[in-house]
């Protein structure tokens, strides 16, 4: 059995993002970074939603992750981009799928070795042209393929299991993960209950998976064996991802979206596209930094 977790959800930035996504906590900055994919924007704020700042890029930005050497890596439609948040300067680090014009980058994740895991997807959300990639700062390896919408790459606390979401197929896969990043033994771990599609995923210190439900109005918590063990309801339908942060790692930040909503639906859920936070009993795993890039 499971039930709604009785935590109070607080809106800390009612920015009305078209497709808010990819929250990540930067401990050194004591700040949360996230993106509005359709707004071509990277946003930053403090844990209480103050100290807000935004950068607008020349393209849809699927994710943002901090670098150990400073700055941020952003996933653009056909490139990985370095963003200097102090100057606003950008430079291309790596091309991605230059021969697949209708694809763009989507969700990303930094592992304990400082490697970048990210997916691509068909921007029209029709073709199975998306793939999962691993980038170590030099070599870009395709790890899986055949997706319409890739989402939610993340890794178990012991580093032995990798998780990846097939949003259109409404399932989350688990893989065996080798130290060199090789994946094997793909199997379906979770098929979330309706309504909604599984979107971004993250892991807490107990190894539980927190799955944002787009068009589901909630975040679900699953045990490592795939059992649903709790949910948090939000005051809007399109929930995109949760990330842990704050000084003790027990503040969960949740991004949401207005994409696909009618004016009437937005009037009924005016906080759609806002950034929320909620305090949880279990902390998340630390946000890793991507390895330095020359």
Could you tell me the strand order of the sheet in which 116-122 lies? 103-110, 116-122, 130-135, 140-147
With beta carbons less than 8 A apart as the criterion, state whether 93 and 79 touch.
Answer: yes
Distance CA 192, CA 160 (A): 23
| C-alpha neighbours within 13 Å on the C-beta side of residue 83 | 25
| C-alpha neighbours within 13 Å on the C-beta side of residue 227 | 6
Burial 98-122 (b: 16+ CB within 10 A, else e): eebeebbbbbbbbbeebbbbbbbbb
Active site residue 225: no
With beta carbons less than 8 A apart as the criterion, state whether 144 and 164 touch.
Answer: yes
Is 14 exposed, middle or buried (CB count within 10 Å of its CB: 0-12, 13-18, 19+)? Answer: middle
Question: Which residue in 122, 123, 199, 220 is the catalytic one?
Answer: 199
Could you tell me the strand order of the sheet in which 171-177 lies? 150-155, 161-166, 171-177, 183-190
Is 156 exposed, middle or buried (CB count within 10 Å of its CB: 0-12, 13-18, 19+)? Answer: middle
Positions annotated as catalytic residues are 199
């Amino acid at each position: 059995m499971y039930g709604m977790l009785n935590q109070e959800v607080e809106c800390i930035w009612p920015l009305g993002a078209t497709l808010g996504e990819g929250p990540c906590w930067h401990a050194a900055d004591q700040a949360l970074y996230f993106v509005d994919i359709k707004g071509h924007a990277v946003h930053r704020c403090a844990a209480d939603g103050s100290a807000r700042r935004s950068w607008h890029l020349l393209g849809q930005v699927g994710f943002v992750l901090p670098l150990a050497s400073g700055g941020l890596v952003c996933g653009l439609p056909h490139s990985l981009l370095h963003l200097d948040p102090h100057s606003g300067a950008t430079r291309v680090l790596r091309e991605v799928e230059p021969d697949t014009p209708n694809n763009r980058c989507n969700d990303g994740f930094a592992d304990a070795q400082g490697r970048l895991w990210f997916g691509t997807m068909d921007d029209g959300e029709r073709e199975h042209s998306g793939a999962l990639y691993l980038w170590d700062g030099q070599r870009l390896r395709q790890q899986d393929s055949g997706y319409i919408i890739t989402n939610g790459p993340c890794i178990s606390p012991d580093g032995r299991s990798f998780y990846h979401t097939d949003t259109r197929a409404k399932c989350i896969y688990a893989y065996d993960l080798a130290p060199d990043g090789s994946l094997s033994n793909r199997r379906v771990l979770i098929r979330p209950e309706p309504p909604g599609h599984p979107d971004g995923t993250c892991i807490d210190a107990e190894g539980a998976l927190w799955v944002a439900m787009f068009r589901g109005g909630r975040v679900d918590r699953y045990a490592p064996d795939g059992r649903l063990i709790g949910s948090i309801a939000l005051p809007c339908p399109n929930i995109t991802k949760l990330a842990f942060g704050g000084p003790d790692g027990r503040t969960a930040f949740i991004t949401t979206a207005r994409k696909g909503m009618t004016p009437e639906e937005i009037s009924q859920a005016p906080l759609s596209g806002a950034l929320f936070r909620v305090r949880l009993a279990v902390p998340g795993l630390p946000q890793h930094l991507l390895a330095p890039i020359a």
